[in-house]
């Protein structure tokens, strides 16, 4: 199962739908792009700045995320020229119907490279692009 960074964050920091995604991913092989390494860190820092978590919670969440990556419980696909080229093709395929962002296109290209279905994202643009590309998607929390 491929998770975008926002869903990964939900597994390490309590959000309203964290339990839903925790249950969905329980026992599943999880993959993402290496860009998640920085996106997750950035999200943790943003949550701390917004006083949604305390510094110690951020440190624990980051340590848990790093442990999962180090133990290969979460596989992070390295970026390659092929991934960037695929991301550009995805951007073009979705244009102009879906105003996809570059990092989202890199996530979609990484997911396609891994063929680790379904794609798990809550981002409406990524979901629209995935549907247009016929990528299998997980359901969302109700």
Name all domains of the chain by residue range, CATH numbers in brackets: 2-132 (3.40.50.1010)
- Give the per-residue pLDDT at 3: 98
Alpha carbon dihedral 93, 82, 43, 21, in 10-degree steps, equals 70
CA–CA distances in Å: residue 86 to residues 48, 82, 89: 34, 6, 5
Q: Which two tokens stand for residue 11?
A: 């597994």
Q: Please state, in angstroms and rounded to a whole number, the distance separating the CA atoms of residues 134 and 116.
A: 14
Peptide bond into 96 cis (omega under 30): yes
Nearest-angstrom CA–CA distance, 23 and 76: 21
- Identify how many contiguous H helices and E strands the chain contains and give both numbers: 7, 4
Report how far apart, in Å, the C-alpha atoms of 50 and of each of 44, 46, 72, 120, 132 are. Answer: 10, 6, 30, 25, 35
Residue 98 CA from chain centroid, whole number: 18
Whether residue 92 contacts residue 130, with contact meaning beta carbons closer than 8 Å, is answered with: no
Which parts of the chain have pLDDT scores under 50?
Answer: none
Are 10 and 127 in contact, with CB atoms under 8 Å apart?
no
Lookup result for tokens 């296109």: 105
Per-residue pLDDT at 142: 79
């Amino acid at each position: 199962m491929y998770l975008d960074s926002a869903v990964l964050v939900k597994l390490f920091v309590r959000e309203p739908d964290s339990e839903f995604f925790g249950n969905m991913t329980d026992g599943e092989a999880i993959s993402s792009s290496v860009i998640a390494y920085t996106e997750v860190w950035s999200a943790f820092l943003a949550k701390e700045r917004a006083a949604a978590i305390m510094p110690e919670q951020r440190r624990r969440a980051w340590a848990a995320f790093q442990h999962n990556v180090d133990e290969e419980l979460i596989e992070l696909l390295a970026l390659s020229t092929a991934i960037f080229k695929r991301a550009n093709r995805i951007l073009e395929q979705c244009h102009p119907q879906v105003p996809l962002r570059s990092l989202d296109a890199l996530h979609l290209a990484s997911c396609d490279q891994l063929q680790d279905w379904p794609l798990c994202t809550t981002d409406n643009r990524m979901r629209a692009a995935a549907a247009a590309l016929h990528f299998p998607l997980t359901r969302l929390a109700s």
